[in-house]
């Protein structure tokens, strides 16, 4: 019980980062390898500003805004120039990683490679659920993840802008032809995605403290979560992937041994990809094939 | 390739002179390489370790470029195969005392097989998903290496085996490991150099850029992809084998960042070039020593440089140099205006008889292609073909007409094997082929063209035509690593070039042979497609809208070509909208509407039929 709940809590964090990866992938068909580093920037800035005496809420807002700005920059510098030459080029594999390297080492250069303290927020509250106990921060993570996921899905399906995003995802040339400004759509997607990553950072900061190398760890887990869930097709699936990953990791620690979370999630990932190469909740998944095919949409 | 495309009609003597000059350059380059190796093998440890690490990554980058450049498979698994080679060598040597030279073939086989397995598993998904799956492969291997501490030494890793010393009487040779590493690098460069000069290279690029085209020419696409990826993995394994002699083998040396760095090397140096990956590897691996500043600043600079390299120079260093050289040699003269005039001239050219294309005339008049009760639908949508019956007799030109969306192209794809029918049978020369891959039809002398020409744009017209000969020359793929060295291969290569030239002159595009397809007008693309079909000497051809986008003159020319093919006894199924072009050629015409056969008959019968006039001619 304890491991399921704490798994869901950490899984919501992975899920938020996975969704951040999935949202930009959805619109531009690229993976922003700097996503984890965007989260790290939020964490580092918030830690630094609050340590310098800025109110925590202001520090958090500044942290989020700066990760959004960097997110947009990563698009303009590392992704857009490549897609403009050839929409199907894979150069972004290299350039987004280059951007991640710059952010990570820039942070290490400015703040030093050691961990700093992070505002405590809700971590000292204890919330007993059944026979398990979560801290306030974990509960907050779950609640925030649920709210953001629902909000994202409502915006994607119900608003005009969400539909514009879908159109851009399916065929950017066509979307452009009917008058959509795909650059604006992409920039908004990168802002939203950086917000998701930054919020994930704020939620996990009190537990992990602020460290320049936070980004690569969480970036990798977010990526795995996205692949488990099949977030490359539907951003929401990435959130479920995160939850599964979280429960698997915590469960492995609780049931196998304390080191098992280092390798068990990877085993799960490999098995899932062998069964369904595009993730558990993708349309090619055997799980989905069990459902009757939906009536042909006109 | 560039040297061939520069001149349209090279004289024989200048060709030979150029060949000799190239040979001289090659000899100088090899000699320089040997001198360099001698120098390094006698220099101090610092220089040696710099060069050797660069060389090992050079091999790794070449192996990645084989997958990325020649097949378009963006593999991020190269670090994984590299790790397999290094760990296998280190573990079996340290724990079981195996001889390192005995381990080399084992490394090659093991990493090659694992590569083929990963390739086969990842090829279910294409493009980006291939990159992601191979990325995960590397990720998982690093995790395994970190966590299986009893075997791999965990995060600390293990010290690699020492390279054996030579007896003291051989001390003049210098450090033996230098010879070994640089020798292997040389062999790897020679391997890709040879492949690029073999007829297998156009085949590989056609798999990369125009898979349906390769398939229709009888190329076993997935087998080649898996095997070639296995070869690339084996080469990465060899790089790992060499790496184990250079120091400590630990998970950090092989994590996914390494795989991405190798991709950086390939992209910086130049994708799909022989020298590019090595240049990139030298630059990236020596970078820390070149700048020699604060490690964080150095990483930041590296990140910025890799972004700049991929955004500013899509062709990499080699591509940039080539562009400059081209501009210098071209001297600014632009031949674009002449191209269209030349295309018109091609259309006027008379159709020549070419000796090498087999003649099927007088082989009877039996039914060679037959469809029985074909039904087909895409996905969950409505059925596109209903109970189609079609019989084509040998030596006939059979027209297939019908309004847009009547299922003509779908039927052509079913007949030629790109789609398999949900019900019914397709018989080619009496053999049931429905549901079999296009290769099975290619073996029966069946070829097809595509509505939108599927060709490799960076190759010349002649090289594209040669893809059509794939299944006429034995063991192209096995001989390709040594191609220019084998007399039999050189002989076959010359024959292929001759055949391609004959086929091109048959369709009246002979003097376009040297141009790259990216530079030729649409009409010539269509003719190239036709030539690559004719070159194989098929007796059945399916043509999907061959006259689309051609000028009136070109259409007339095409009709002449098809008529001359018919004289050679070639059976043709032609899908076409331009009835004025089609009807005079056809022996029989079948009219489709809404996925059903309305009528089959002679052109005159079809023209006279009231229902056809109503649904198709709109009267």
The domain at B367-615 falls in which architecture? 3-Layer(aba) Sandwich (3.40)
* Dihedral sign (CA B241, B246, B250, B254): negative
What pLDDT sits at residue A70? 93
What pLDDT sits at residue B62? 94
Contact A89 B314 (CB under 8 A): yes
Residue A263 lies in a domain: yes
> Where do the H-state alpha helices sit in B70-158?
71, 78-96, 100-122, 128-147, 149-152
Scored b (16 or more CB within 10 A) or e, A270-292 reads: eebbeebbbbbbbeebeeeeeee
Residue A297 lies in a domain: no
Question: 311-330 in B: which are within 8 Å (CB) of A?
Answer: 311, 314
B536 touches chain A (CB under 8 A): no
Question: Total structural domains in chain A?
Answer: 1
CA distances for B556 relative to B342, B505, B523, B562, B603, angstroms:
16, 16, 12, 10, 18
Range of the domain at A36: 2-289
Contact B314 A85 (CB under 8 A): yes
Nearest to B394 by CA among B429, B418, B426: B429
CA distances for A188 relative to A72, A161, A172, B195, angstroms:
8, 10, 15, 46
Size of interface A-B (CB pairs under 8 A): 112
Give CA–CA dist A143/A137, Å, rounded: 10
B549's torsion region: left (phi>0), alpha (psi -120 to 50) or beta? left
Angle at B339 between CA B338 and CA B341, to 5 degrees: 65
Query: Nearest Cβ partner of A102 from B132, B263, B303?
Result: B303
Tokens standing for residue B69: 């450049």
Domain boundaries, chain B: 45-324, 367-615
Give CA–CA dist B292/B277, Å, rounded: 23
Pairing status of strand A126-129 against strand A132-135: antiparallel
Nearest to A29 by CA among A76, A95, A93, A102: A93
Q: How far is A195 from chain B (nearest CA, A)?
A: 24
Residues from chain B that touch A297, judged by Cβ atoms under 8 A, are none
> Where do the H-state alpha helices sit in B160-294?
176-196, 200-209, 211-216, 221-243, 256-269, 276-291
Residues from chain A that touch B124, judged by Cβ atoms under 8 A, are 277
Tokens standing for residue B558: 């095409």
Query: Nearest Cβ partner of B310 from A95, A277, A278?
Result: A95
Contact B127 A85 (CB under 8 A): no
B259 touches chain A (CB under 8 A): no
The CA-based dihedral angle spanning residues B103, B104, B109, B114, taken in that order and rounded to the nearest 10 degrees: 80
Report the complex ipTM: 0.81
Exposed/middle/buried for residue B261 (C-beta within 10 Å: 0-12, 13-18, 19+):
buried
Q: Which chain B residue has the Cα nearest residue A94?
A: B264
Tell me whether the CATH fold assigned to B45-324 matches the one assigned to B367-615: no
- β-partners of residue B448 are B542
Residue A295 lies in a domain: no
Give CA–CA dist A109/B298, Å, rounded: 11
Q: What is the pLDDT of residues B291-310, one digit of tens each?
A: 777 888 888 888 888 888 88
What pLDDT sits at residue A248? 87
What pLDDT sits at residue B342? 58
Angle at B89 between CA A261 and CA B148, to 5 degrees: 15
Selected for mutation to probe chain A from B127, B135, B303, B314 (highest A CB count within 10 Å) is B303
Q: Pick out chain B residues at pLDDT < 50.
A: 1-12, 332-334
Selected for mutation to probe chain B from A74, A105, A293 (highest B CB count within 10 Å) is A105
Close Cβ partners of B202 (under 8 Å, ≥ 6 residues apart) = B456, B459, B463, B464, B466, B467
B121 touches chain A (CB under 8 A): yes
What pLDDT sits at residue B81? 92
Contact A82 B128 (CB under 8 A): no
What pLDDT sits at residue B184? 92
CA distances for B111 relative to B70, B188, B234, B437, angstroms:
20, 16, 5, 29
B380 touches chain A (CB under 8 A): yes
Tokens standing for residue B579: 């009835």
Residue A201 lies in a domain: yes
CA distances for A9 relative to A134, B28, B166, angstroms:
9, 65, 61
B297 touches chain A (CB under 8 A): yes
What pLDDT sits at residue B136? 83
Q: How far is B370 from chain A (nearest CA, A)?
A: 33
Residues from chain A that touch B260, judged by Cβ atoms under 8 A, are 93-94, 97
Q: Pick out chain A residues at pLDDT < 50.
A: 291-298
Q: How far is B538 from chain A (nearest CA, A)?
A: 35
CATH of the domain at A89: 1.10.3470
| Straight-line distance from the first to the last Cα atom of chain A, in angstroms, rounded to the nearest whole number | 46
Could you tell me how far CA A70 lies from the centroid of its own chain? 15
Residues from chain B that touch A262, judged by Cβ atoms under 8 A, are 143, 146-147
Helix, strand, coil abundance in chain B, percent, nearest 5? 60, 10, 25
The enclosing H or E element of A189 equals helix A182-208
Selected for mutation to probe chain A from B126, B268, B307 (highest A CB count within 10 Å) is B307
Contact A98 B307 (CB under 8 A): yes
Question: 128-157 in B: which are within 8 Å (CB) of A?
Answer: 128-129, 131-133, 136, 139-140, 143-144, 146-147
The domain at B45-324 falls in which architecture? Orthogonal Bundle (1.10)
């Amino acid at each position: 019980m304890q491991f399921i709940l704490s798994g869901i809590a950490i899984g919501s964090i992975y899920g938020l980062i996975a969704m951040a990866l999935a949202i930009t992938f959805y619109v531009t068909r690229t993976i922003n390898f700097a996503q984890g580093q965007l989260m790290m920037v939020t964490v580092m800035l918030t830690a630094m500003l609050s340590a310098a005496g800025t109110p925590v809420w202001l520090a958090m807002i500044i942290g989020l805004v700066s990760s959004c700005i960097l997110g947009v920059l990563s698009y303009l510098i590392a992704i857009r120039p490549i897609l403009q030459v050839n929409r199907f080029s894979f150069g972004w594999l290299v350039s987004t990683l280059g951007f991640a390297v710059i952010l990570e080492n820039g942070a290490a250069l400015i703040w030093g490679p050691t961990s700093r303290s992070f505002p405590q927020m809700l971590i000292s509250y204890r919330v007993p659920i059944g026979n398990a106990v979560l801290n306030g921060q974990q509960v907050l993570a779950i609640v925030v993840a649920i709210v953001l996921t629902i909000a994202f899905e409502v915006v994607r399906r119900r608003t005009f802008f969400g539909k514009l995003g879908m159109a851009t995802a399916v065929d950017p040339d066509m979307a452009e032809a009917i008058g959509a400004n795909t650059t604006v759509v992409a920039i908004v997607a990168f802002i939203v995605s950086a917000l998701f990553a930054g919020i994930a950072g704020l939620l996990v900061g009190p537990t992990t403290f602020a460290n320049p190398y936070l980004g690569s760890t969480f970036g990798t887990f977010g990526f795995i979560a996205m692949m488990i869930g099949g977030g490359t097709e539907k951003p929401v699936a990435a959130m479920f992937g995160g939850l599964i990953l979280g429960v698997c990791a915590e469960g492995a620690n609780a049931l196998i041994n304390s080191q098992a979370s280092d390798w068990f999630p990877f085993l799960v990932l490999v098995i899932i990809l062998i069964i369904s190469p595009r993730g558990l909740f993708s349309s090619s998944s055997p799980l989905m094939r069990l459902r009757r095919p939906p009536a042909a949409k006109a | 390739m560039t040297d061939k495309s520069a001149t349209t009609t090279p004289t024989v003597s200048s060709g030979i002179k150029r060949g000799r000059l190239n040979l001289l350059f090659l000899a100088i380059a090899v000699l320089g390489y040997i001198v360099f190796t001698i120098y390094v093998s006698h220099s101090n440890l610092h220089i040696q370790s710099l060069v050797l690490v660069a060389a090992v990554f050079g091999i790794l980058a070449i192996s990645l470029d084989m997958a990325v450049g020649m097949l378009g498979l963006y593999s991020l698994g190269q670090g994984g195969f590299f790790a397999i080679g290094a760990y296998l060598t280190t573990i079996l040597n340290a724990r079981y005392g195996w001889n390192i030279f005995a381990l080399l073939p084992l490394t090659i086989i093991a990493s090659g097989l694992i590569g083929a397995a990963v390739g086969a598993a990842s090829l279910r998904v294409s493009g980006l998903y291939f990159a992601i799956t191979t990325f995960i492969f590397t990720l998982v291997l690093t995790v395994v290496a970190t966590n299986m501490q009893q075997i791999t030494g965990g995060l600390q890793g293990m010290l690699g085996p020492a390279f054996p010393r030579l007896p003291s009487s051989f001390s003049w040779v210098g450090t033996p490991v230098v010879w070994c590493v640089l020798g292997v690098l040389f062999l790897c460069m020679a391997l890709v150099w040879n492949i690029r000069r073999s007829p297998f290279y156009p085949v590989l690029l056609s798999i990369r850029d125009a898979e349906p085209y390769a398939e229709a020419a009888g190329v076993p696409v997935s087998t080649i992809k898996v095997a070639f990826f296995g070869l690339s993995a084996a080469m990465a394994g060899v790089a790992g084998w060499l790496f184990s002699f250079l120091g400590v083998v630990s998970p950090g040396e092989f994590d996914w960042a390494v795989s991405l760095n190798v991709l950086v090397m390939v992209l910086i140096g130049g994708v799909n070039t022989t020298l590019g990956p090595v240049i990139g590897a030298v630059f990236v691996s020596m970078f820390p020593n070149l700048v020699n500043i604060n490690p964080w600043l150095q990483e930041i600079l590296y990140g910025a440089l890799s972004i700049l390299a991929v955004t500013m120079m899509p062709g990499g260093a080699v591509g940039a140099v080539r562009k400059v050289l081209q501009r210098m040699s071209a001297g600014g003269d632009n031949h674009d205006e002449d191209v269209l005039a030349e295309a018109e001239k091609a259309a006027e050219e008379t159709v020549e008889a070419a000796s090498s294309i087999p003649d099927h005339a007088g082989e009877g008049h039996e039914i060679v292609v037959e469809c029985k009760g074909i039904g087909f639908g895409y996905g969950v949508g409505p059925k596109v073909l209903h109970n189609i019956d079609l019989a084509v007799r040998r030596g006939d030109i059979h027209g297939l007409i019908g309004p847009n969306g009547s299922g003509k192209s779908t039927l052509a794809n079913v007949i030629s094997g790109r789609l398999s029918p949900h019900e019914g049978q397709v018989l080619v020369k009496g053999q049931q082929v429905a549901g079999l891959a296009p290769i099975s039809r290619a073996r029966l002398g069946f070829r097809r063209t595509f509505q939108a020409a599927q060709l490799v744009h960076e190759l010349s017209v002649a090289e594209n035509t040669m893809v059509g000969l794939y299944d006429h020359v034995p063991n192209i793929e096995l001989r390709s690593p040594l191609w220019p060295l084998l007399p039999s291969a050189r002989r076959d290569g010359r024959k292929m070039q001759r055949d391609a030239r004959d086929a091109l002159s048959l369709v009246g595009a002979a003097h376009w042979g040297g141009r790259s397809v990216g530079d030729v007008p649409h009409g010539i693309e269509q003719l190239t497609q036709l030539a690559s079909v004719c070159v194989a000497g098929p007796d059945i051809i399916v043509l999907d809208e061959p006259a689309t986008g051609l000028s009136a003159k070109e259409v007339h020319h095409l009709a002449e070509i098809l008529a001359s093919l018919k004289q050679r006894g070639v059976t043709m199924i032609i899908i076409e909208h331009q009835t004025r072009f089609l009807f005079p050629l056809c022996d029989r015409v079948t009219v489709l509407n809404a996925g059903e056969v309305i009528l089959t008959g002679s052109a005159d019968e079809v023209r006279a039929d009231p229902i056809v006039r109503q649904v198709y001619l709109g009267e």
